[in-house]
Amino acid sequence: MLTVHHLGVSQSERIVWLCEELGIAYDLKVYDRRADNRLAPDDYKALHPLGTAPIITDGDVVLPESAAIVEYIIHTYGGGRLAVPPGAPNYADYLFWFHFINGGFMPSQFTVMISRALGVTEDDPRAAWVGGRGEAAWALIEKRLGEVPYLAGPELTAADIMIGFSLTTMRAFVPRDISGSPNILAYLQRIAARPAYQRAMAKGDPGMALMLT
């Protein structure tokens, strides 16, 4: 049986949402963060040497990394749904956005988070470089969502599953005012209206205020 090991308030919300969108059977095990340092508890870290979220287990398979997990579930349990097949007109768009999230966007946000934690101030020359990469990524997303309703085109795909956390819950770690991003705001309302998203967030992080505005 597929088991999703969900660390509260983390990227593993993507996997819960994916399973709900696909309507597949899965077990959900939720882990609370430690009270002293807000990191993963020891029993979560023991699942895999990396100890990072998300992680799934499926028989003898123990798999971390969001993108790898999404592809595994889509092709093992979802019959390829939510992926765009080779030869489709929007295949290249899907590939770019699916991989851009963890390959480009999330690293830029983590860099901002780490620089702030290290005390890099806005007048530090390094701040402009760090902030510039992040701003360019946000601008690219805002532009894209002004052209199409979902990242890969007219329908929701796994690329949207990947970016959901990055535009919402990630802002609990890297605060950002998105009131000036109307296309992103409209997109988040489309996501919020999806029953599968609502179920996923209620199961994985009940009581958490969703950062949709």
Q: Based on the fold, state whether residues 142 and 189 are members of the same structural domain.
A: yes
Q: Report which of residues 128 and 206 the model is more confident about.
A: 206
Confidence of residue 193 (pLDDT cuts 50, 70, 90): very high
Q: In the predicted model, is pLDDT for residue 131 greater than 80?
A: no
Report the C-alpha gap between 176 and 187 in whole angstroms. 16
Domain count for the chain? 2
Percent of the chain with pLDDT over 90: 78
> Rounded CA gap, 166 and 163, in Å?
5
Judge whether residue 112 has pLDDT over 80.
no
Q: Does the residue 176 lie in any domain?
A: yes
Instruction: In whole angstroms, give the CA distance from residue 135 to residue 103.
Output: 16
pLDDT tens digit sequence for 16-71: 999 999 999 999 999 999 888 878 999 999 999 988 999 999 999 999 999 999 99
Considering the domain architecture, whether residues 42 and 135 belong to the same structural domain is answered as no
Q: Does some domain include residue 211?
A: no
- Of 86-100, 126-140, 174-188, which range is least confident? 126-140
- 118 with 137, same domain? yes
Instruction: Answer whether residue 180 is part of any domain.
Output: yes
| pLDDT tens track for 80-89 | 999 999 999 9
Residue percentage of the chain with pLDDT more than 70: 91
Averaged pLDDT for residues 149-165: 98
- 150: domain CATH number is 1.20.1050.10
d(CA 7, CA 196): 19
Which range of residues forms the domain containing residue 123?
91-194
Residue 65 sits in a domain whose CATH number is 3.40.30.10
3-state secondary structure of 55: strand
The stretches of 59-213 forming alpha helices (DSSP H) are 66-76, 91-100, 106-117, 125-144, 158-167, 182-192, 195-204
Average pLDDT, the chain: 92
* Among the listed residues 133, 163, 175, 136, the one whose alpha carbon sits nearest the alpha carbon of residue 66: 163
| Residue 8 reports pLDDT greater than 90 | yes
Inform me whether the pLDDT recorded for 120 exceeds 80: no
Q: Is the pLDDT confidence value at 122 over 80?
A: no
Q: Are residues 6 and 77 in the same domain?
A: yes
